[in-house]
Amino acid sequence: MSILADRNEGAQVLLMGNEAIARGALEAGMGVAAGYPGTPSSEIIEGLSKVASELNLYVEWSVNEKVALEVAAAASFARLRSLCVMKQNGVNVASDFLLHLAGSGIRGGMVLVTCDDPGALSSVNEGESRHFAKMVEIPLLEPGDFQEAKDMTKWAFELSEELKTLVMLRSVTRTSHASGNVKLGKLPDAAKRAEFRYDGFILDLDTGIMISPPVTYKHGLQQARIARAREIFEDSPFNTYEGPEKPELLIVTSSACNLYSKEAISLLGLKDRVGLLKMGTTWPLPPKLLAKHLAATDKVLIVEEVIQFLEDNVKIIAAEKASAVGVKTFYGKNDGTIPAVGEMNPDIVIGALAKIMGVTYEAMPKDYEQKTQPLTFSMAPNRELTFCPGCPHRASFWNLHVALEKDGRKGFVCGDIGCYSMGLLPCGYNTMKTLHSMGSGTGIASGFGKLGQFGLDQPVLAICGDSTFFHAVMPALVNAVHHNANITLVVLDNSGTAMTGFQPHPGLTVSAMGESVPALDIAQICKAMGAKVEIKDPFALEETQATLNRLMEDTQGVKVLILRQLCGLSPEKKAKKRYEVSVDQAVCIGEGCGCNRLCTRVFRCPGLVWDEEAGKARIDEVICAGCGVCSFVCPSGAIRKQEVA
């Protein structure tokens, strides 16, 4: 049984931040959840989907974040409580509807959870979603630990209904993907019933039509809601203070930085000198509460991640209340005390705090430090990122690399978001030359494909995954076909949203809740759009390479090559070897081969290693996934594969 549906009220359990958020939504009686997978947010919808039938929920992986927000909004309009979940850049995708939804207001409590990724641990940006809350004028909550992640999510639904507005709850990787003790609350039993009323007075928020006009009237309502939120937040239990009555320094913080700050104060032994004001309600900030704490100190350090948000908003309150609270010295991102890029950790806060407070701190004894630090270079060789053993993307990029070399016209690949983003690294033979947002490889290729009139004669390729195809590639492909752009789109179809854990997408026959659903065929869609379509298996190397070369030579319009092969980690394939692969060391000529160790120096699969003693290649049988692709790579034919019975 999933812990999310555990009715053992009061039990202490270990929950991941994302699980705590999901549990909080369930304790609030949420009926509908929608989202699009993206690290570090995916486990919320994933967890909810597993308890959907048991708890009578509707949960879906939507085609993209904007549609997810629309699906969740519909449930709210029908008086159900609904949740929408995405990672930080998903909010950009959803933002057009988000703005209009803030204007129209909502009915059933509705919470937008965004999981930001400071330091871009699993992203190609460190976007900051908090600013959206301020921009579209909706309340913003940030949990400071795991218990709060649950309790605050539950409360967010109540707040949303009280204010009749969407509420945004922002998590970060170190909350979402960290785990801690959580005391379970009660799961409600009440039956959920949906009805959409639209026949009341046009401006009646409960019975009229759901629209954002008349715009200035509705905008005024939205600002009144924010003003009311400001009052409610003055007494919120999610804003806490620990420390002396008159601290020498006040730390104002939120989110995971709460725990880093607490750790830093404890390690430096500054509990009697430094106060910690942890804000859970970060937009709008409650001015009276802030003024009370500002008045008690002269120095303020703001600890937060990514672009300064809390810092600016605290400073506005300090300026407005200056006559009452006095002039403060501020430390934070603006003066460089806290770095403005990358994620935070306890050591950064320790450094900042030690400097301001004039205390010394040694993380480790000097002699230990001197002994260990040089080992980074001599004893701990870096592990660069690479495709998993057996990954079809390694084969696909090898095919692209070989075909582009053979073509010889300096062709290039425009990419986007997925495991295949690593196509820009050595593991993808540095094939990918542009990388931005979901679907943008195809849009950029569409533009490059029209530069022939200015003399651009390089073959233009785009690459995308199957889930990304539905998410954002389709409009770009329409654009490319309609404008007759000369491009080849390679769709890496590994039958799932592999990077984030095999969430289903519209190309598959099973939904998030495990129901049978109609699958949309990527090849048929591309054909219907007017592209020329071919389908190959990337593990059939020679055939795929010949096809790529033929498509690059065809200068007429949009060509689509679908490379279909299951992800090596897919449940159907995992831990099952198709081939037993081995290196015949009698045939391997080692360094004398003249191939520059194509197998290990260039192909770079973690399962095919270099045997230093023998001076030859060797298969690591624990790592090798048995895809057999490397057998095509060795010019001497020393790599053998045998089908596993």
Positions 332 through 371 that interact with another protein (CB under 8 A):
345-347, 350, 362-365, 368, 371
> Between residues 267 and 540, which has the closer beta carbon with respect to another protein?
267
| DSSP H/E element including 493 | strand 487-493
> Between residues 175 and 495, which has the closer beta carbon with respect to another protein?
175
- Alpha-carbon span 221 to 229, nearest angstrom: 12
> Between residues 422 and 548, which has the closer beta carbon with respect to another protein?
422
Of 41-100, binders to another protein (CB under 8 A) are none
Q: Which stretch binds another protein (CB under 8 A): 326-334, 416-424, 463-471, 559-567?
A: 416-424
Of 160-189, binders to another protein (CB under 8 A) are 173-175, 177-181
> Between residues 118 and 286, which has the closer beta carbon with respect to another protein?
118
> Between residues 122 and 582, which has the closer beta carbon with respect to another protein?
122
**What three-state secondary structure class fits 592?**
helix
Least distance from another protein to the Cβ atom of residue 390, Å:
11
> Between residues 488 and 600, which has the closer beta carbon with respect to another protein?
600
Q: Which stretch binds another protein (CB under 8 A): 404-412, 451-459, 552-560, 604-612?
A: 604-612
Strands 179-183 and 240-242: unpaired
Of 519-548, binders to another protein (CB under 8 A) are none
Least distance from another protein to the Cβ atom of residue 315, Å:
26
Cβ-contact 568, 626 below 8 angstroms:
no
Strand partners of residue 34 = 60, 84
Listed in sequence order, the residues at least 6 apart from 288 whose beta carbon sits closer than 8 Å to its beta carbon are: 234
Contact track, another protein, 375-394, x by CB under 8 A: xx-xxxxxxxxxxx------
> Between residues 246 and 601, which has the closer beta carbon with respect to another protein?
601
> Between residues 15 and 110, which has the closer beta carbon with respect to another protein?
15
Q: Which two tokens stand for residue 91?
A: 């909010």
Least distance from another protein to the Cβ atom of residue 448, Å:
26
> Between residues 282 and 600, which has the closer beta carbon with respect to another protein?
600
Instruction: Work out the number of other CB atoms within 10 angstroms of the CB of residue 533.
Output: 19
Q: Give the CA distances from residue 289 to residues 146, 243, 351, 471, 473, in Å, rounded to whole numbers and listed in that order.
A: 24, 15, 28, 43, 47
Interaction of residue 397 with another protein, rule CB under 8 A: no
Instruction: Work out the number of other CB atoms within 10 angstroms of the CB of residue 529.
Output: 16
Listed in sequence order, the residues at least 6 apart from 17 whose beta carbon sits closer than 8 Å to its beta carbon are: 143, 146, 149, 171, 175, 176, 177, 178, 179, 180
Q: Which two tokens stand for residue 461?
A: 């390729």
Q: Which stretch binds another protein (CB under 8 A): 28-36, 225-233, 414-422, 441-449?
A: 414-422
Cβ-contact 267, 364 below 8 angstroms:
no
Length of the chain: 645
Interaction of residue 427 with another protein, rule CB under 8 A: yes
Least distance from another protein to the Cβ atom of residue 194, Å:
35
Of 454-513, binders to another protein (CB under 8 A) are 499-500
Interaction of residue 327 with another protein, rule CB under 8 A: no
Strand partners of residue 136 = none
- Binder to another protein among 194, 609, 636, 640 (CB under 8 A)? 609
Identity at 262, one-letter amino acid code: K
Q: Which two tokens stand for residue 36?
A: 């699009």
Of 127-156, binders to another protein (CB under 8 A) are 145-147
Interaction of residue 608 with another protein, rule CB under 8 A: yes
Q: Which residue has the tokens 């989110």?
A: 255
Q: Give the CA distances from residue 229 to residues 102, 107, 234, 504, 588, in Å, rounded to whole numbers and listed in that order.
A: 14, 17, 9, 38, 71
- Alpha-carbon span 427 to 418, nearest angstrom: 14
Least distance from another protein to the Cβ atom of residue 616, Å:
13
